[in-house]
Amino acid sequence: MQTSSTINLNYTINSGQVFLWDKIGDMWAGINGDDLLVIKDPFQIISSQKKASHFFRLDDNITKTLSAISKDSLVGKAVRQFPGLRLLRQDPFQCYISFICSSNSSIRNIRNMLTRLCVKFGNKIEFENHEFFTFPSAEKLANVTTKDLLSCGLGFRAKYVRDAVKAVNSGRIEFESIRKTDYKTSLETLKTVKGIGNKIADCILLFSLDKLESFPIDRWTNRILQKYYPKIFDSAGGKSLTEKKYAILHEKIVDHFGPYAGYSQQFLFKLERDLNKKNWL
DNA sequence: TCATCACCTGGAGA
DNA sequence: ATCTCCAGGTGAT
């Protein structure tokens, strides 16, 4: 078990898993579903909905996890370089919509799209003279038009988001059942939604539905595998990641990194993006 | 099954 | 300023 004081928020927020966080003076503020989380130094959590410990995964046995993933020497190096970097457990609906919006876009753009969604359809919360907007619920988005979504800058993702909202409201996608089921079934279930392929499904599973064996393979993580582990992940990784290659790669990944491969991925992603001086939020 | 290609948009770099 | 290029992919052909 752990206490929140071991978490490094700067690393954790700036590791590509969340988009709606801001540093305001000496505090961090972020949107998680209908909840506004404000973190003041030294790690005092203010949650409008009292769900913070859940969000920060304080129930994980982090010592055991970090020790396990550090058996890989590069991951071990990243764990030492970014002490306090953690996975978060996000609101599933927000995570689902966020990563559908991430398709072929940049972190900055994703953040802009989601912010506009919140301003347009979320609830306003005022906190210490600052104005925040929560992430709209599936019910709230039930009747939005593609046009509404286009006005938020979603582009070709607008139709995907609209369908994704319908899938939730109709009960075809039920996050809490997905959370309980096994990895492969949960992956296939999410992929029935248009706009969700392997990579985005893995992001949703890892960042909000407790599937720690998820290891989203995108242009960065694929590059990492080819660059640092050419012998282990060689043949499977070619230029375009087909369905089959993705599945084979994932098998090899779990084989090599272990059952907490998702944690490994978070450290490796942070390491390589920082190395290439890529911007975060 | 696989390789190509188009796709909205806005930020970053030339 | 103006332009081109590209960004944490995915679906259709």
Give residue-wise pLDDT tens across range A17-41. 999 999 999 899 999 999 999 998 7
pLDDT band at A240 (very low <50, low <70, confident <90, very high): confident
CB A254 within 8 A of CB A215: yes
Å between CA of A225 and C1' of B5: 26
Å between CA of A276 and C1' of B14: 20
Architecture of domain A61-81+213-281 in CATH? Orthogonal Bundle (1.10)
Share of chain A above pLDDT 90, in %: 88
Q: In which residue ranges of chain A is CATH 1.10.1670 found?
A: 61-81+213-281
Whole-angstrom Cα distance, residue A246 to residue A232?
A: 14
Q: What is the predicted pLDDT for the residue at A46?
A: 74
Query: Which phi-psi region, left, alpha or beta, contains residue A105 (left: φ > 0; alpha: ψ -120 to 50)?
Result: beta
Q: What is the pLDDT of residues A190-238, one digit of tens each?
A: 999 999 999 999 999 999 999 999 999 999 999 999 999 999 987 565 5
Ramachandran angles phi, psi of A194, nearest 5°: -65, 130
Q: Nearest residue to B8, CA vs C1'?
A: A155
Q: Nearest residue to B10, CA vs C1'?
A: A109
Å between CA of A243 and C1' of B2: 10
pTM of the model: 0.97
Q: Nearest residue to C9, CA vs C1'?
A: A103
